[in-house]
């Protein structure tokens, strides 16, 4: 356990509730301004600020930026949007005392903490909150020593536990450090020795206090690398405890596949004739959200997904979508065998070639499936009008997090905008009017920023530089190469066709640059497995059409679901 740099213990704060579900947190929030901080189980214990504002329960995930440990500097920074704080208590104090909104999009202001009624059984630091679940076993009662040297041999033993010392054997790395200077940890001596057992009888056992430990750090840092630091990289210089090495008890985490450095051997590679069409869809694996056989739009699964997306900040969801889109496009995670089989090194190059037909069809289906799922998130809200307006706001905030300069995932942005511009969604006049009334900033961003940006991207004149874009807009190229007609007058259609082909050539040429930018965007990112699965094409296909209907022809499936969305739209706001 590491001690926070600023000495603030998160578990000791009255507004921190530990591991708490979203539903239980909402039940504790009664009035506007009420708030609490909890550990999210779906995010591995990450802190989430839950509050009530304008009658709705809102949840804000707090981002944590890990820092390499240095003297006088915190081990991590915490932030909601822009400003960073050295600890969670400092972040909460700043927003509560300054009456600052937790996010500019919602304007939610917190003022009254919902206190934790029962005392936590064990205090733990913010680092423990991030690295794993809190330990809840009660602390062992302290055994006070007498002033007689004979009692030193029995220190660490109690009358209730005859096992004695070994029952309370503790790794030296877990012993608390006192004082302002680091302590040089040496090999653990038996607890019965005087050197490690001096407490209240020190003055009777030796004339002067022991020498001050040398100013030597107790931890050694590994060689610098490009990966962000983790707490497992701190290796104490102590021998193994009970025959188990520290490397086994706290293994070095491996870098995820999207952070692995790929071999740059393009100049020395020989051309290999393509062997077969390549698919970048992950193989069918047992789902953690769906059973082996499922029906379309199962209510329990939809409820789970709604809670899952509400638990995550739009920026976090955007990174999850960027990761899945990069894998589906063949930008990241391409194996050497796949490169040899397709004859190029990236899916951005493959989709412009004749034998990239399978990849183009997969990308078209992914784009349309994501758009249908986004529209269902709005049209499936059968509750009050504010609930549908909040769903619209969530999609707008996700689109803003995906735009160039942010996550830079243009295929994901196109899918979210396709959901917002779908006729079944755009006809909901009362819902859009409520969005402009309750969430004015999101409505203005959609009309003044997102719609012009999407129009420019579809026409081939939008931003496409690898510096601000991690994954380019591939939908116009895919539609063109698959024979879909270009809408508009003939002269404008020809110009648009030429711009699309010119953009496809530059996209294939700059594929290594896009791969580098995408890897930088995802460096240090640890996705939630459930949310990552929920954004894959295979999962969405089974969710929308069921395990049996997912194998039906693509055109038939999409036509049928468009009719379903039309019925849901008419039911929400019938034609007058």
Residue 51's H or E segment, with its range, is strand 46-53
Q: Beta strand 34-40 with 112-113: parallel, antiparallel or unpaired?
A: parallel
pLDDT computed for residue 251 by the predictor: 36
Residue 201 Cα to chain centre, angstroms: 52
SS3 539: helix
pLDDT score of 487:
58
Looking at residue 380, its pLDDT comes to 92
pLDDT in the model for residue 270:
60
Q: What is the rounded distance in angstroms from the CA atom of residue 297 to the CA atom of residue 300?
A: 9
Query: Per the CATH hierarchy, to which homologous superfamily does domain 10-130 belong?
Result: SH2 domain (3.30.505.10)
With beta carbons less than 8 A apart as the criterion, state whether 86 and 75 touch.
no
Nearest CA among 540, 284, 295, 564 for reference residue 415: 540
**Whole-number pLDDT of residue 271:** 58
Question: Whole-angstrom Cα distance, residue 412 to residue 402?
Answer: 7
Q: What is the DSSP string of 301-368?
A: HHHHHHHHHHTS-HHHHHHHHHHHHHHHHTSSS--HHHHHHHSSS-HHHHTTSGGGHHHHHHHHHHHH
Q: Give the CA angle between residues 373, 315, 444 to the nearest 5°.
A: 75
Report angle CA 150, 155, 159 to the nearest 5 degrees: 100
**Please, where are the H alpha helices in 460-536?**
475-481, 490-509, 511-521, 529-534
CB distance 518 to 326 below 8 Å: yes
The kind and range of the H/E element at 114 are none
454 closest CA partner among 418, 498, 485 = 418
- Average pLDDT across each block of 10 residues of the chain; the chain has 576 residues. List them in order: 46 86 89 90 80 89 80 81 84 88 86 73 41 42 42 41 38 40 41 40 43 41 40 33 33 52 50 70 77 91 90 92 95 87 89 91 95 95 91 95 95 97 95 94 95 92 90 93 69 81 93 94 90 94 92 91 94 88
Nearest to 64 by CA among 191, 258, 294, 230: 230
DSSP 236: E
- Which numeric CATH code is attached to 285-572? 1.10.840.10
Q: What pLDDT does residue 166 have?
A: 38
**Which H or E run contains 436?**
helix 429-438
pLDDT at 204: 40
Residues of the chain with CATH 1.10.840.10: 285-572
Q: What is the pLDDT of residue 182?
A: 42
Cα–Cα distance, 133 to 409 (Å, whole number): 33
Paired tokens of 500 = 């699309």
Cα→Cα distances 397→81, 350, 354, 378, 446, Å? 13, 32, 37, 14, 9
What pLDDT, on the 0 to 100 scale, is given for residue 399?
Answer: 96
3-state secondary structure of 289: coil
pTM, rounded to two decimals: 0.59
Q: Which residues pair with 47 in a beta bridge?
A: 39
Residues 6 or more apart from 483 whose CB is under 8 A from it? none
Q: What DSSP designation does 244 have?
A: B
Residue 72 sits at the vertex; the CA angle it makes with 67 and 76, to the nearest 5 degrees, is 25
Residue span(s) of the chain under CATH 3.30.505.10 come to: 10-130
Encoded tokens for 139? 């602390």
Q: Which pLDDT value is given to residue 64?
A: 82
pLDDT of amino acid 311: 86
C-alpha–C-alpha distance, residues 258 and 333, integer Å: 6
Question: SS3 helix, strand, coil % of the chain, rounded to 5?
Answer: 45, 10, 45
Distance CA 428, CA 196 (A): 74
Q: Are strands 112-113 and 84-85 parallel, antiparallel or unpaired?
A: unpaired
Determine the pLDDT at residue 167: 36
CB 517 within 8 A of CB 469: yes
Within 10 angstroms of residue 372's Cβ, the number of other Cβ atoms is 24
């Amino acid at each position: 356990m590491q001690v926070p740099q600023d000495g603030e213990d998160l578990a000791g704060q009255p507004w921190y509730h530990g591991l708490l579900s979203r539903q239980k947190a909402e039940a504790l929030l009664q009035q506007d301004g009420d708030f609490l901080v909890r550990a999210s189980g779906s995010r591995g214990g990450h802190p989430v600020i839950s509050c009530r504002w304008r009658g709705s329960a809102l949840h804000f995930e707090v981002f944590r930026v890990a820092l390499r440990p240095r003297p006088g500097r915190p081990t991590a920074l915490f932030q909601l949007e822009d400003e960073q704080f050295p600890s969670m208590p400092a972040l909460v104090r700043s927003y509560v005392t300054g009456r600052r909104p937790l996010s500019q999009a919602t304007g939610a202001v917190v003022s009254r903490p919902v206190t934790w009624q029962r005392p936590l059984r064990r205090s733990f630091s913010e680092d423990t909150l991030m690295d794993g679940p809190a330990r809840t076993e009660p602390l062992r009662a302290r055994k006070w020593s007498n002033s007689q040297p004979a009692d030193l041999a029995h220190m660490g033993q109690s009358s209730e536990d005859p096992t004695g010392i070994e029952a309370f054997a503790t790794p030296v790395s877990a012993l608390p450090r006192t004082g302002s200077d680091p302590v040089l940890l040496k090999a653990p001596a038996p607890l019965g020795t005087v050197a490690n057992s001096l407490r209240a009888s020190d003055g009777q056992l030796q004339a002067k206090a022991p020498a001050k430990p040398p100013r030597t750090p107790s931890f050694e840092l590994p060689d610098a690398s490009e990966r962000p630091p983790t707490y497992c990289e701190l290796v104490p210089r102590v021998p193994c405890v009970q025959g188990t090495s520290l490397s086994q008890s706290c293994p070095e985490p491996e870098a995820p596949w999207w952070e692995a450095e790929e071999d740059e051997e393009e100049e020395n590679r020989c051309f290999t004739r393509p062997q077969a069409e390549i698919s970048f869809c992950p193989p069918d694996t047992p789902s953690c959200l769906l059973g082996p056989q499922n029906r379309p739009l199962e209510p329990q699964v939809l409820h789970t997904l709604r809670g899952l997306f509400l638990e995550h900040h739009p920026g976090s969801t955007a990174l999850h979508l960027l990761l899945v889109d990069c894998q589906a496009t063949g930008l990241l995670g391409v194996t050497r065998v796949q490169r040899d089989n397709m004859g190029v090194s990236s899916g951005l190059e493959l989709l412009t070639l004749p034998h990239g037909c399978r990849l183009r069809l997969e990308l078209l289906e992914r784009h349309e499936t994501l758009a249908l799922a986004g529209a269902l998130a709005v049209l499936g809200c059968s509750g009050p009008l504010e609930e549908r307006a909040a769903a619209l706001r969530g999609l707008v905030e996700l689109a803003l997090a995906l735009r160039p300069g942010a996550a830079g995932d243009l295929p994901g942005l196109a899918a979210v905008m396709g959901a917002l511009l779908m006729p079944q969604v755009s006809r909901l006049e009362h819902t859009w009017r409520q969005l402009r009334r309750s969430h004015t900033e999101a409505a203005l961003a959609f009309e003044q920023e997102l719609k012009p940006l999407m129009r420019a991207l579809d026409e081939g004149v939008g931003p496409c530089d690898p510096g601000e874009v991690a994954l380019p807009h591939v939908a116009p190229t895919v539609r063109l190469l698959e024979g879909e007609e270009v809408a508009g007058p003939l002269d404008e259609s020809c110009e648009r066709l030429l711009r699309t082909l010119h953009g496809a050539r530059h996209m294939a040429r700059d594929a290594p640059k896009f791969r580098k930018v995408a890897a930088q965007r995802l460096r240090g990112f640890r996705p939630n497995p459930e949310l990552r699965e929920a954004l894959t094409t295979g999962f969405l296909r089974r969710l929308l059409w069921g395990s049996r209907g997912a194998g039906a022809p693509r055109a038939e499936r999409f036509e049928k679901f468009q009719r379903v969305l039309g019925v849901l739209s008419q039911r929400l706001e019938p034609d007058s």
